[in-house]
Amino acid sequence: MPGILELRQAIVERFAADHGWQYEPDQVQVCCGGKHGLYNMCQALFGPGDEVLVPAPYWVSYPPMIQLAGATPVIVPLAEENDFDLDASILGQYVTERTRGIIINSPSNPTGSVFSRKTLEAIGKMALERGWVVISDDIYDTIVYGNEPLPHILEVDPRLKEQTIILNGVSKSFAMTGWRIGYSVGPKHIIGAMNKIQSQSTSNPSSIAQKAALAAVRGPQDFPLMMKDAYLPRRDYIIKELVAIDKVTCVVPRGAFYVFPNLSAYYGKAFKGKVIDGSVTMADYLLEEALLATVPGAAFGAEPFVRFSFATSMAVIEEGMKRLRKALADLS
Ligand SMILES: Cc1ncc(COP(=O)(O)O)c(C=O)c1O
């Protein structure tokens, strides 16, 4: 079951209005959140022996979802010095005859970074030559700072539409996380295979939640813009505070609502005899001693870093940065 026709039609219309991309409702699957969409597509697309390229830092669910399909995630490192854009010249090192696809997440969770047009062109070229499927996780595409348009893989070459599947949803753009509505848009045969999987598992997302998502997708689109305007001063503030701390570096996120500072200069230091030996002990320390909730970089395949979210009030962020400064200064 692909989801109610009204909602799939509304998604098709939104894609056309926002991007000029033309799809039919039978190229759309509505599912129980973006996470479920990714699960369905991995199950439909990959199997034992297949390899899937995953740039790291990655969103936590990509490698396990690929593994649940019996396939192997192949991690491609992104460098902080390159603003976490992919250096396409290294991509070839990770490609084998078993490579079936690549996951793009731009803007990214956890880095907030965006892949440049040049990078997308290089990925698109390889995907066309080798017949890869491209998964473009666009869940943060309404939260992009600055006036430059967000580059997209579909703009690289019209032929890529036949082998690209887009993941999106209302969790981030409309802050409707709990409603659990995501959607995938792509070639009919892939959506068809995903519909068989969904039909034998959840049937479909709750029709009540689908109606709520319909109101969001069809309604005025000023809400995502309002959210973005609210996030921008918080991003600028948290970056200013982070890089002012001795030996902390942080890439300025171009989108989403996370910062991913490099705290590794503090690894090896200790508090009350307990050594901070990596991102997990750092996140534990920040939670226990400073009551700061963060996510360790290890969860995203990037040990030197810790993720902070700035999707909270300025007052909370100010207090959080005060506590972080003190917690790092207390390490010796
Ligand atoms: C990059 C990325 N993709 C997909 C999702 C899935 O979101 P949801 O299942 O809430 O729609 C998330 C949620 O955190 C995410 O960060």
DSSP structure string for 184-250: EE--HHHHHHHHHHHHTTTSSS-HHHHHHHHHHHHS-THHHHHHHHHHHHHHHHHHHHHHHSTT-B-
Task: State the distance from the centre of ligand 1 to the C-alpha of 50, rounded, in angstroms.
Answer: 24
- pLDDT for res 288: 97
Overall pTM surpassing 0.85 (yes/no): yes
Pocket flag, ligand 1, residue 182 (CB < 6 Å): yes
164 SS3 class: strand
Closest CA to 69 of 40, 109, 35: 40
Report the interhelical angle of 188-199 vs 34-45 (nearest 10°): 110
Q: Diameter of the chain by CA atoms?
A: 61
Q: What's the pLDDT score for residue 249?
A: 98
Question: Domain boundaries in the chain?
Answer: 5-219, 223-329
Q: Which ligand 1 atom lies nearest to the CA of residue 169?
A: 11
- 169 within ligand 1 shell (Cβ under 6 A): yes
pLDDT score for 132: 98
| Terminal CA-CA length for the chain | 57
Check pocket membership of 55 for ligand 1, CB cut-off 6 A: no
pLDDT in tens, the chain (332 residues): 899 999 999 999 999 999 999 999 999 999 999 999 999 999 999 999 999 999 999 999 999 999 999 999 999 999 999 999 999 999 999 999 999 999 999 999 999 999 999 999 999 999 999 999 999 999 999 999 999 999 999 999 999 999 999 999 999 999 999 999 999 999 999 999 999 999 999 999 999 999 999 999 999 999 989 999 999 999 999 999 999 999 999 999 999 999 999 999 999 999 999 999 999 999 999 999 999 999 999 999 999 999 999 999 999 999 999 999 999 999 99
Provide the pLDDT for residue 233. Answer: 98
Are domains 5-219 and 223-329 of this chain identical in fold?
A: no
CA of 121 to the centre of ligand 1 (A): 25
The atom of ligand 1 lying closest to the CA of 177 is 10
223-329 maps to which CATH number?
A: 3.90.1150.10
Q: CB 97: neighbour CB atoms within 10 A? A: 6
Contacts of 320 (CB under 8 A, 6+ apart): 292, 308
Q: What is the pLDDT of residue 72?
A: 98
Q: 139 C-alpha vs ligand 1 centroid, how far in Å?
A: 7
Does ligand 1 come within 6 angstroms of the Cβ of 105?
A: yes
Question: 171, 184, 307: which to mutate for ligand 1, most atoms within 8 A of CB?
Answer: 171
* Residue 251 DSSP label: P
d(CA 233, CA 157): 36
List, in order, residues 6 or more apart from 292 with CB less than 8 Å away.
286, 320, 323, 324, 327
Closest CA to 110 of 88, 89, 139: 139
Q: Are 303 and 264 in contact (CB under 8 A)?
A: yes
| CATH number of the domain located at residue range(s) 5-219 in this protein | 3.40.640.10
- Separation in Å, CA 225 to CA 63, 144, 222, 277: 31, 10, 5, 40
- Ligand 1 centroid – CA 110 distance (Å): 11
